[in-house]
Each structure stands twice: as C-alpha cells, then as structure tokens.
Amino acid sequence: MLWSDGDEATIATGAIALAKRFQGRAVGLVVRPPAGEFMPTGDFGMALSQDYIEKMQADAAQRALRHRHAFEAAVAAAGLSAHPAPGEAGAEYLEQDGAASTVIGTVGRVFDLLVIAKPQPKRSAETEILFETALFETGRPVLMLPEGVAAPKPGGVVAIAWNGSEETARTIALGLPLLAGADRVVVMEADGFGVPGPTAEDVAEYLSAHGFATQVRHLTGISAAEDAGAAFLREAATIGADLMIKGAYTQSRIRQLIFGGATRHILTNAGLPVLFAH
C-alpha cells in the first residue's frame, strides 16, 4: 500500500482486507524524500534555508506517524500479526528514505498488487505522482481506491472496460484472482472506439473458459476517448459494479494529459475501485 495525505484509513483497511482474503501479506510503505540542499529552477539552483529543510523533514516525520497510526489501527482491527503462522495473513510497516520513483519502482516489483488512493491533484500533486510511479515503474497491477470506498470483496459484479488493447488484456490476466468468486463479470465495449484486437465476445469466451459467468454490453454513441471513459463509468454504475478493470494509457500519457482520454477520465471521476495495469 502506498500512502498520500487524507487516504490513510481507506488504504490501510482496503489493503489489509485483501491480505486476509488471499492469506497474503500487507505492507504499508512510506517513502520519505531526502531534503536537498538546493532546488533546481531553470538553469540555476535556489538555495534552501536550514529552517526550511528542517520544516520539510518535520512535516515528513509527522505524515509518516499518521500513516503508521492508521496502519496499526487497521492491523489491530483485523487481528493480523507481523509474524503470522503459515497460511495466515500478516502485515508489516515499512519506511524508506529516497526518491519515490526509485523506492517504489524497486520495492513494488516484488509484490502481487499495489493499493493506492485515487489521485487528488487539487489536494496534493503527490497523489498523482505516487499513482503514475506505481503504474509505470513496477510492472505490477495497481488497485485504485477512492476515498472512503472499501476494497472489492468476493462476489458482486466486476466490469471490464474492454478496448481491444494489450494493456487491458494484461490487466485482465493480472486481475484474475480478484475476479474469483464474482457473481457476474460484464465485458463492456465502446462500439466504434478502441484499437484493433479481440472483441468483447472473445473476452467473454476466454473468461467463460475460466469458469466465470460473463455478459457483454456494447456501448454506443461514443465519439471520443473521454466520452468512452464516461460511458464505461455510467455503465458500471448501471450494473452495480463493485470493481472495474481497465488497461491504463492505451493512448500515450502525454496525449491524454493534453487532450483527455478514457484513463484520465476514469482516474478523475471513478467512484468505485479500479484495477489498472500498463
């Protein structure tokens, strides 16, 4: 689990619930960036006062303490141990100093799943940086939880935002454990939008071979990538989805930042858990 301000309870509770579900290990990771001696501004540097550096360090320590308290409270409520017996779920808290991209990119590659809060760039740029670092630097799937929303449980409805891409195909494969026990898996396809590839019916056939009860929903009237993201969210709400699976950034990230896109729209507006991979 990767932290940012304001999401402590959501992330701790969600990740620990998933650890219990899969008899796994939940690790709360806090990355503390080192306070540098200068900040680059164009071709020059701006010196930071010692007082400012000390304030940055104190703020980081306070945030880490908040995260630790939230983690320990969730662990206690779930009855987990740092030293579980074989076959039981466990939990561990970890703090590391360094650049977030380096630490998360290194540590995250040896976990099955990264759990992170929905980015809130208006609150803090850190939230979006954490998400994109987890997505692009680890090679692992990322489960995004909106604030106050629980992690998906066995059963319920899983919606797949299918667009024919290898990113979404990879996300489905990585997300098969989360589909286990689903009452229904609905493959949504925005007609006339996507990339050349298998159809929603092909995906449903593949999932049926894995034993899932599947349905296909074709969404019409889609004219742009952002519209496809909105249509996927509307359909997910209509069918009462508890989880969405979405390949991230089939279009380039830079293009989506400038022109919008399905991933960008879902990141901004999702009210349900979304599993992403790239």
The DSSP element (H or E) to which 182 belongs, if any, is: none
Q: What is the dihedral of CA 146, 77, 111, 249, to 10 degrees?
A: 0
Domain ranges for the chain, please list them: 8-145, 157-277
Task: Read off the amino acid at residue 15.
Answer: A
Confidence (pLDDT) at 273: 97
Asked if 91 and 26 touch (Cβ cutoff 8 Å), the reply is yes
Under-70 pLDDT residues of the chain: 3-6, 35-48, 121, 123-125, 225-226, 250-260
- CA gyration radius for the chain? 20
User: C-alpha angle 193/141/216, rounded to 5°?
Assistant: 40
Buried/exposed code over 185-224 (b: 16+ C-beta within 10 A; e: otherwise): bbbbbbeebbeeeeebeebbebbeeeebebebbebeebee
Contact 183, 213 (CB under 8 A): yes
pLDDT of residue 65: 86
Per the rule left: phi > 0, alpha: psi between -120 and 50, beta: everything else, 94 is beta
Q: What DSSP element (H or E) covers 34?
A: none
Strands 25-32, 90-97: pairing kind? parallel
Which CATH code for domain 157-277?
A: 3.40.50.620
DSSP 8-state symbol, 240: T
pLDDT in tens, 140-175: 999 999 989 999 999 999 999 999 999 999 999 999
Per-residue pLDDT tens over the stretch 110-148: 999 999 988 886 766 677 888 888 999 999 999 999 989
User: Residue 50 burial by CB count (10 A; 0-12/13-18/19+): exposed, middle or buried?
Assistant: exposed
CATH code for the structural domain at 8-145: 3.40.50
* CA 272/CA 113 separation, integer angstroms: 17
Sign of the dihedral through C-alpha 212, 225, 170, 25: negative
Supply the pLDDT for residue 44: 45
